[in-house]
Structure 1
Amino acid sequence: MNSELYPTPLRPKLMSFDVFGTLISVRDSSYSAFERILADSGAHHVDVKAFWEHWEHRNIAHYWDPYRSYREICDLSLAETFAHFEVAGDSRLIERYFEAFPRFFLYDDVVRTLDRLSRHFKLAVVSNIDDDLLALTPLKRNFDLVCTAQRAKGYKPDGTLFRYLIDNAGVAKDEILHAGQSQFTDLVGGKPLGLTIAWINRRQIALDGSVPRPDFILPDIQSLSHVVHIEA
């Protein structure tokens, strides 16, 4: 990656970030919680990564429903995932996941990248999460604007949470650059509203043909320095 790929750097006034999967390594941070969920359910034979991915897929599906809290969605999705894997588990075990939030960890490039960007741009987070769970998450910094599903009373896929960002950013829509890792929430939710979006493809997966095209595809957030103008 080099700056020659982007000959005209953007000059946003606000940069917003998805949290879980973009700043927080959520899969690696939470697999142990789901291993305990499966162990408590007598399902040692189930692959924890496959189980987690199905559960997350169900979360995304429920983001389109009438608003309910992230905690409620996670509980419902766990019940559905137990059923899918034919496990007789109790969905209240999702508390193992919530208890893990204070131990979640950032990707290695996050602290130094956000520290640098914060000297030039306002920073926001845009997350499909409840306020109390975000407060437990060790992000190691404060943000100029915090946008959660709880505050917006809706999630990213249908645009509700991004409209909350736009309405509260204090800058024009075309002065916002959003960075996020989820094709099915960040791209599907943000691009139809006209937001400029950098898809942070940390896992190097293929872009699904059904989703809107991102403006940039980057392997990590430190690569954002190649697409924005930073004064010397």
Structure 2
Amino acid sequence: MSVLPKALAFDVFGTVVDWRGSIAREAAPVLVAAGRSDIDPHAFADQWRARYVPAMLAANKARAASESTAFVKLDSLHRTMLDDLLATLDIDLDDSTRAELTRGWHRLDPWPDTVAGLTRLKRRFPIVTLSNGNISMMVAMARRAGLPWDAILGAEVAGAYKPAAQTYQATAAALDVAPGELCLVAAHHADLAAARKAGLMCAFVSRPMEYGGRPAPDRDAVQAWEYSATSFTDLADQLGC
């Protein structure tokens, strides 16, 4: 297309990093130590992640219902989700083990093309996060994985979780660009659909192994996005980087 965005904003979980494989890696020794080697670590990661969207929606609803309700960081929600999962699976872990397992979300591995692709894209565009992850989590992840962000933006800055429109629009405002001048890069059609509704441009990047090769749960939300790529390096090619 002829009109290029002025900046690129990236979903992180699943788009930039492999949350499923990374959390399975973190959970595996914990499950063995707890005497629950019968539980597949990848299934454990899936069940933890399955609590993600309901937790986000509940947090947004609580904030909308009362202006005095403080924004709850994703680290706190992850811990609540973990406690619920452990209770469901009848696994007893001490507090320090639970805390360290929750911090596993700070140590997610990038996809093989991530760093090279971001580095190329950064040559031409400002690149920022537009994630539901809190700032300290995104900073720790970036430092560990070498993610070259220009800024950490998203839910904590906006005071709301995606798919709330203000999360996307606040990111554009922080960059002093119009929503239509900001392009969300994501592997999730539902995220892109919400971004488009909020006025953003959209770039889909396929991550077929995010769910271990299973079909993505939001595949029915697909639209004709401004860009569609197989990797960040492919997107860089398309954007002339």
For normalisation by structure 2, the TM-score amounts to 0.78
Say if 2:120 and 2:233, in contact at 8 Å, map to a contact too: no
Say if 2:86 and 2:92, in contact at 8 Å, map to a contact too: yes
What's the CA shift string for 1:57-102, capped at 9, x where partnerless? Answer: 2012111123421112111211232344x32334844423344456
2-side partners of 1:23 and 1:224: how far apart?
Answer: 13
Which residue of 167, 173, 189 maps to 2:194? 189
In the alignment, what sits opposite 2:212? none
In the alignment, what sits opposite 2:92? 89
Is residue 211 of structure 1 aligned with residue 221 of structure 2? yes
In the alignment, what sits opposite 1:47? 40
The alignment of Structure 1 onto Structure 2 pairs a total of residues equal to: 221
Task: Identify which range, 122-131 or 191-200, moves more after superposition.
Answer: 191-200
In the alignment, what sits opposite 1:71? 75
In the alignment, what sits opposite 2:13? 20
In the alignment, what sits opposite 2:158? 152
In the alignment, what sits opposite 1:58? 51
TM-superposed CA distance for 1:197, in Å, is 1.7
Is residue 140 of structure 1 aligned with residue 152 of structure 2? no
TM-superposed CA distance for 1:183, in Å, is 3.8
What's the CA shift string for 1:125-164, capped at 9, x where partnerless? Answer: 1111122222211242543332132222221122342122
In the alignment, what sits opposite 2:27? 34
Say if 2:14 and 2:187, in contact at 8 Å, map to a contact too: yes
Which residue of 161, 164, 176 maps to 1:170? 176
Q: 1:50 to 1:144 in 2, by over 3 A?
A: same
1-side partners of 2:51 and 2:217: how far apart?
Answer: 20
Q: Which one has the bigger helix percentage?
A: 2
In the alignment, what sits opposite 1:4? none
Is residue 222 of structure 1 aligned with residue 233 of structure 2? yes
Q: Percent identity?
A: 21
| Structure 2, gaps ≥5 residues long | 60-70, 210-214
What's the CA shift string for 1:94-129, capped at 9, x where partnerless? Answer: 423344456533222122222222121111111111
1-side partners of 2:21 and 2:72: how far apart?
Answer: 26
Is residue 198 of structure 1 aligned with residue 203 of structure 2? yes
Aligned Cα root-mean-square deviation (Å): 2.6
Task: Identify which range, 30-39 or 44-53, moves more after superposition.
Answer: 30-39
Say if 1:31 and 1:48, in contact at 8 Å, map to a contact too: yes
